[in-house]
Amino acid sequence: MLTNFLKNLILLPFFLGAITYPVFAQETGIGVKAGANFSTQLNNFQFTTGDLQINLDPSFTIGYHLGLIYRQRIARNFRIQAEPTFLNIGASYKDSFTFRGFDFQTNSETRLSYIQLPLMLEWTTTPPDLKEVPIPWEITTYHASIGLYSSYLLDATFFGSNSGSPVGVDFDEEFSSDVTNQLNYFDAGLIFGGGLEYGHKDKMGVEARVMLGMLNSGNTRGNEFKPDNLSISIAAYYMF
């Protein structure tokens, strides 16, 4: 039942766009966007290799995203957007662990690369009457956004350095491991945010969003590995 509900919710913006396209055809737009992500995971990150098993408390790290925007207005104050995006998120860890009876410190990160498709519904303030003469070039509107996203994992890397003093000898070594097989390839969740837009025909805008993963993105067996992605993003965009 939940799966059917999510499918219907995802298809709803396209249905609304189809039935309103003749009225708002002039309100179709294409754009590009880029921004920074401040991301982490809601639960501990678990890494296993050989007889080493560690459980790390995640903190925020910085990533980025690049994407396209397809916009269709469906009412005077509402529009839908599809935004195919390359997304780089992850988490950082400064934690301790024990290996073969010795204590170590890790300063490390996970770096996850996704192809993401957000489908957004946006409420926007009404711009000034463009029939006035002279037509104002400088127009600012504000908007609030809510939507769903689905993501496909391209790559996942766990890297950093471990240090310690086993048997009284100082140890500090860098490492990098592919952990793609410890994560699900598919992720999905909610996005909400808000921003402002400036311009008449060509438009520039900025927007802040929160992305919350709703699926267990871990893919390990024998333990409860549920990292669940969380990202706060700030983006600038340009609409043609």
pLDDT score of 168 more than 80: no
What span, in angstroms and rounded, lies between the C-alpha atoms of 79 and 121? 6
More confident residue, 103 or 127: 103
Annotate 54-73 with three-state secondary structure. Answer: EEECCECEEEEEEEEEEEEE
- Above 70 in pLDDT, residue 6? no
Look at strands 203-213 and 229-239 and give their pairing.
antiparallel
**Secondary structure (DSSP) of 91-150:** EEEEEEEEETTEEEEEEEEEEEEEEEEEEEEEEEPPPP-TTSSSPPS--EEEEEEEEEEE
Average pLDDT over residues 28-42: 94
Between CA 10 and CA 15 the distance in angstroms is: 10
Q: In one letter, which amino acid is 83?
A: E
Mean per-residue pLDDT over the chain, rounded: 82
Residue 182 CA, chain-centre distance (Å), reads 19
Largest CA distance in the chain: 82
Spans of all domains in the chain: 2-239
pLDDT band for position 7 (cuts 50, 70, 90): very low
Two tokens at 150? 């689905």
106-131 pLDDT per residue, tens: 899 999 999 999 999 999 987 655 55
Looking at residue 113, its amino acid is S
Give backbone dihedrals phi and psi of 77, rounded to 5 degrees, phi first. Answer: -115, 15
Task: Report pTM.
Answer: 0.79
Tokens of 109: 């990160």
Question: Helix (H, G, I), strand (E, B), or coil: what is residue 190?
Answer: strand
Q: How far apart are CA 171 and CA 8, in angstroms?
A: 55
What is the pLDDT at residue 1?
Answer: 46
Phi-psi region of 199 (alpha: psi -120 to 50; beta: other; left: phi over 0): left
Write down the pLDDT at residue 108.
92
